[in-house]
Amino acid sequence: MEARPHPSPNFGERKGGLTPELVVLHYTGMASAAEAVALLCDPASEVSAHYVIDEVGGVLQLVPEEARAWHAGAGAWRGLGDVNSRSIGIELVNTARHPFPEPQMRALEALLNGIFARWGMGPEGVIAHSDMAPARKVDPGVRFDWRRLALAGLSVWPEAAAGDVARFVTDARAFGYPDVAPELILQAVRLRFRPWASGPLTAEDAAIVADLARRFQIDRAGAKA
């Protein structure tokens, strides 16, 4: 997969010598790719991303991966802030009202495979904007196919069996969710893993984060071994 350069001025240096360990997925929420790219390249907007993928699978690179694009904003993941310095941002052209087309998903998968190879990243590093900023963001939204990415080894998917609702917040934070109100964590978990669900917290919600926390902690321990 080859990305076409389309430089944006909206970037800086990654702080503290940090390198990418996360990929944050967004949707543009705009009517067209051209409109989104114009915004992301406008100095007055003070926003950008490393990549934009349009509906037919075209990929533009706006910011070098080594640089700090301005895509994530306030939020945290795995107990750390300044997500911009620790991540690569990918904008998917989508109005939030329709599914993500097959060519776009194929292009995303190819791009993620390249990022994984370049930065030694694993599937647990691919997160939603709504994961790291649940009080502010809902993208890439309920129509994004996270399970497809997981089946391709490019994200994670829970293998839920049983969960303890009393441990929901503890397990969610162990996986990576930030220290925000429990109802915001529940909203973010459901956006990604149970978009059809509604109502109060259930054992099914708790089982999802329990499994993710267990496997995330195993992965971290393995990496240190």
Helix (H) or strand (E) holding 35: helix 33-40
List Cβ neighbours of 176 (8 Å cut-off, separation of 6 or more). Answer: 77, 78, 79, 127, 131, 216
Residue type, 66: E
Q: Which of 91, 109, 159, 183 is catalytic?
A: 91
Give the angle 197-198-201 at the CA atoms, nearest 5°: 95
For residues 86 and 18, give the distance between their C-alpha atoms in angstroms, rounded to a whole number.
6
Residue closest to 168 by CA, chosen among 212, 126, 219, 123? 212
- Is 91 among the residues known to form the active site? yes
**Active site members:** 91
